[in-house]
Chains A and B, each alone.
Chain A
């Protein structure tokens, strides 16, 4: 059976590699069509993206994207499309930042408390979707999209001087009360005068390990994956499917609660109106790219960070930075197609191999019978 495994690994790598090659080709064609030289653009991106300060930037960005990817992947693993990670992380970052600003406790207590608040808010916001789906049959896609808008509206309602926001009279910007010094998360210093790496990277890695362990090694994870593979089979096997839908939405939301934390605890230390937007959607792309596998998602998150870093530089070189958006879109499309193709190919190939091996066994058996 070793052969099968080797082939499976090969197939697993073939799909994203194919998708990337296809994506670069399409992007090159787009650049050519707009009268720009493609190879130079890629050269600029790679050169700039691999510089030391870029590496720090990419790692920090990827931390956020990785958590978003994990949040989406929890849903995907059970066939739920949580588009609402976007609203979930913004709302939870906002409430957590406001709560953190209102407290002044030792960091050892306050930081976990802030993280806990964020996860709880995310979980509660996502649980609305789960409950609606279970009790009213509302598609999670629809309700999460709506809840994203509601989260935006709720934040703008509350982020007002006198409610949960404070007005900075110098800059005329409303933000939540800044976190006390004690609640700043640790950073990992880098050499020279480069920016430090966010300490939340460690939390992200731990979250990835937890994801792998819970899904792959626990009874709960098995139940969750079986619902994702076949709902009727899971139900017949004794999984409470409704309960599992709510639980996995809650888990996905709690993970989404972590998405805003690197920014709040390591970077801005407060929630302002220009808090990063749309990371939830990046999470979808990253989860697709990483095939809902914790290592794959990490690679996807790094790639996304790298592309965005490159985009900033391209603008200086006279390219439209939107070209990176095109590239990202094409990558996601190619990845989805490539995975499906490879999956079908894999199944067919395995069936053929099983047939061939059984036939071989049968021939051997018959020979032995004849010999006797």
Chain B
């Protein structure tokens, strides 16, 4: 199992695309199974038993698992009983636990990922490339994934995976390659290095270690959510509560972190506060103003900054140039418009400023958002939201899929703004991030806030048990036997 680590834009994905035949190298050679090859297309790669699981899954929602796996590979085992038998066989051989007749639509992220892996194995891959496979998974799911991958390597397959999470890289990889700015800077064995050393190799300088900052919490309430309820009607017509009596208060200068396994209502909570979903009951008060049913734009103008969970879906116009993306969400505010008219000149100028101040690596502001790497897109989004001096920042997974350098930068920006009285609602799957940034922690489980904790004394493990519903109430750090740090 070989891990590839590096900053965003370091060239990891490009390298993998070349290995998978999606891009042609200018120079150099690739040897597969000891033989030099030239890959012109993914089909070439598949024929040479190389398979890739992309970061963004490529599955058809309305087809079953079996249909998805067979799609495009009908010639191998047909589409009937033989194919089904083969899928079962692979699934059992590697402990993937895939149900061939489930609709992909109904599957969770972790199950979808296993389908993707099976899809690649079905095509006979002996070399598996996984692009940031753990970015979308909860901690328990990550462990399950690595168990699956170990099964594969035990059978003699080769796994190459890209990751930002150095802890997991160190624990599972047999070999680590660090690349920076398009070149290999180091090949190391996990037993002979540390997470800190790896991170320094990635960014090329010494890291600012995450320090515990002084509390900046004031006693001025900024956001108060009271008795918030929201139900959704699912495909079968059954109404199901996704938010159940949510009560929370964020004060100026406070970071409130919400922990929870994804899908327990965090996304809905964010969307209710942003006005993208209309709550069935309860009130949301921002700075003494009742905004429970106000339109999204009024909330944004009222001082809410928003870093959405899915930046491609909710924060960017991928095919629009960067400066138009800088306007998005703040079209009614200076410098983007004057009265009813846009002010493209000022918006462009301000985009240049954001690019410089937030270190967005781009050749210019006329390129489309799609041509930037994920981390640079995120830096642009953070820069945009911070530029309007929000009173409240809603940050959903602000550093997901972002490299160590950019991560530290984003954390610093949030901390600095907090010092000036910004209130932050932080939602994250990264427990270290939650514990490191938050002043107060709440745990969300099945649409309810079931537990709270003091980030100064809690460990990821204790938080994890509350996330699965095993613990509730105020989580106290047990005095006997300190928890193992991650």
Residues A220 and B276 in contact in the complex (CB < 8 Å), given A230-B317, A233-B313, A359-B181 = no
A350 to B372, CA, bound (A): 10
- Which chain A residue lies CB-closest to B332? A219
The answer on a CB contact under 8 Å between B331 and A222 is yes
A347 to B296, CA, bound (A): 31
Spot the interface stretch: A82-90, A162-170, A237-245, A287-295: A237-245
Interface residues of A in 343-364 (CB under 8 A from B): 347, 350-351, 353-355, 357-359, 361-363
The answer on a CB contact under 8 Å between B182 and A354 is no
The answer on a CB contact under 8 Å between B366 and A5 is yes
Which A residues are in CB contact (< 8 Å) with B327?
222
- Does B201 count as interface, using CB distance less than 8 angstroms? no
Interface residues of A in 207-240 (CB under 8 A from B): 216-223, 226, 229-230, 232-233, 235-240
A363 to B182, CA, bound (A): 9
The answer on a CB contact under 8 Å between B181 and A351 is no
- Does B367 count as interface, using CB distance less than 8 angstroms? yes
The answer on a CB contact under 8 Å between B332 and A350 is no
- Does B425 count as interface, using CB distance less than 8 angstroms? no
- Does B450 count as interface, using CB distance less than 8 angstroms? no
The answer on a CB contact under 8 Å between B341 and A354 is no
Which A residues are in CB contact (< 8 Å) with B306?
236
- Does B252 count as interface, using CB distance less than 8 angstroms? no
Which B residues are in CB contact (< 8 Å) with A347?
319, 368, 370-371
What is the predominant secondary structure among interface residues of chain A facing chain B? helix
Which A residues are in CB contact (< 8 Å) with B296?
235-240
B201 to chain A, nearest CB (A): 15
- Which chain B residue lies CB-closest to A214? B340
- Does B320 count as interface, using CB distance less than 8 angstroms? yes
The answer on a CB contact under 8 Å between A366 and B181 is yes
A366 to B10, CA, bound (A): 13
The answer on a CB contact under 8 Å between A233 and B314 is yes
- Does B329 count as interface, using CB distance less than 8 angstroms? yes
- Does B153 count as interface, using CB distance less than 8 angstroms? no
B393 to chain A, nearest CB (A): 14
- Which chain A residue lies CB-closest to B343? A217
In the complex, per-residue mask of B92-114: 1 if CB is within 8 Å of any chain A CB, else 0? 00000000000000000000000
A218 to B327, CA, bound (A): 12
Interface residues on chain B, number (Cβ under 8 Å): 48
Interface residues of B in 320-337 (CB under 8 A from A): 320, 324, 327-332, 337
Which A residues are in CB contact (< 8 Å) with B390?
none
Instruction: Using C-beta atoms within 8 Å of the partner chain, give the interface range for chain A.
Output: 35 or more
Which A residues are in CB contact (< 8 Å) with B299?
238
Interface residues of A in 1-50 (CB under 8 A from B): 1, 4-5
Which B residues are in CB contact (< 8 Å) with A240?
295-297
The answer on a CB contact under 8 Å between B316 and A233 is yes
The answer on a CB contact under 8 Å between A357 and B363 is yes
A366 to B274, CA, bound (A): 43
**Residue with the highest number of chain B CB atoms closer than 10 Å, among A5, A229, A365:** A229
In the complex, per-residue mask of B336-358: 1 if CB is within 8 Å of any chain A CB, else 0? 01001110100000000000000
Partner of B308, one of A217, A236, A355: A236
- Does B14 count as interface, using CB distance less than 8 angstroms? yes
The answer on a CB contact under 8 Å between B342 and A218 is yes
- Does B285 count as interface, using CB distance less than 8 angstroms? no
The answer on a CB contact under 8 Å between A350 and B329 is no
A263 to chain B, nearest CB (A): 34
The answer on a CB contact under 8 Å between A237 and B331 is yes
Partner of A226, one of B295, B300, B328: B328
A220 to B332, CA, bound (A): 10
- Does B361 count as interface, using CB distance less than 8 angstroms? yes
**Residue with the highest number of chain A CB atoms closer than 10 Å, among B9, B14, B317, B330:** B317
Which A residues are in CB contact (< 8 Å) with B11?
359
A358 to B332, CA, bound (A): 33
Which B residues are in CB contact (< 8 Å) with A237?
296, 300, 328-331
A365 to B361, CA, bound (A): 13
The answer on a CB contact under 8 Å between A4 and B367 is yes
The answer on a CB contact under 8 Å between A217 and B328 is no
- Does B362 count as interface, using CB distance less than 8 angstroms? yes
- Does B318 count as interface, using CB distance less than 8 angstroms? yes
A91 to B232, CA, bound (A): 42
The answer on a CB contact under 8 Å between A220 and B328 is no
The answer on a CB contact under 8 Å between A233 and B328 is yes
Residues A219 and B331 in contact in the complex (CB < 8 Å), given A347-B368, A359-B181, A359-B182 = yes
- Does B315 count as interface, using CB distance less than 8 angstroms? yes
Interface residues of B in 124-147 (CB under 8 A from A): none
Partner of A358, one of B9, B308, B313, B317: B9
A14 to B49, CA, bound (A): 39
A216 to chain B, nearest CB (A): 8
Which B residues are in CB contact (< 8 Å) with A365?
181
In the complex, per-residue mask of A323-360: 1 if CB is within 8 Å of any chain B CB, else 0? 00000000000000000000000010011011101110
- Does B364 count as interface, using CB distance less than 8 angstroms? yes
The answer on a CB contact under 8 Å between B274 and A362 is no
A344 to chain B, nearest CB (A): 11
B6 to chain A, nearest CB (A): 12
**Residue with the highest number of chain A CB atoms closer than 10 Å, among B295, B300, B314:** B314
The answer on a CB contact under 8 Å between A351 and B337 is no
The answer on a CB contact under 8 Å between A217 and B314 is no
Which B residues are in CB contact (< 8 Å) with A229?
317-320
Interface residues of B in 280-302 (CB under 8 A from A): 295-301
Residues A230 and B318 in contact in the complex (CB < 8 Å), given A222-B327, A355-B14 = yes
A358 to B364, CA, bound (A): 10
Which A residues are in CB contact (< 8 Å) with B331?
219, 222-223, 237-238
Which A residues are in CB contact (< 8 Å) with B182?
359, 362
30 A-B contacts, Cβ less than 8 Å apart?
Answer: A1-B364, A218-B340, A218-B341, A219-B331, A219-B332, A219-B341, A222-B324, A222-B331, A223-B331, A226-B317, A229-B317, A229-B319, A229-B320, A230-B316, A230-B318, A233-B313, A233-B314, A233-B315, A236-B314, A236-B329, A237-B300, A237-B328, A238-B300, A239-B296, A240-B297, A353-B363, A358-B9, A358-B362, A362-B181, A362-B182
Known: A219-B331, A240-B297. 19 other contacts (CB 8 A): A219-B337, A219-B341, A219-B342, A220-B340, A223-B331, A226-B320, A226-B328, A229-B317, A229-B320, A230-B313, A232-B313, A235-B276, A236-B308, A236-B315, A238-B299, A354-B372, A358-B363, A359-B11, A363-B181
Residues of A within 8 A of B (CB): 1, 4-5, 216-223, 226, 229-230, 232-233, 235-240, 347, 350-351, 353-355, 357-359, 361-363, 365-366
Q: Which 10 A-B residue pairings sit nearest by Cβ, starting from the closest?
A: A238-B297, A362-B181, A1-B364, A237-B329, A357-B363, A236-B314, A238-B296, A354-B371, A351-B371, A229-B317
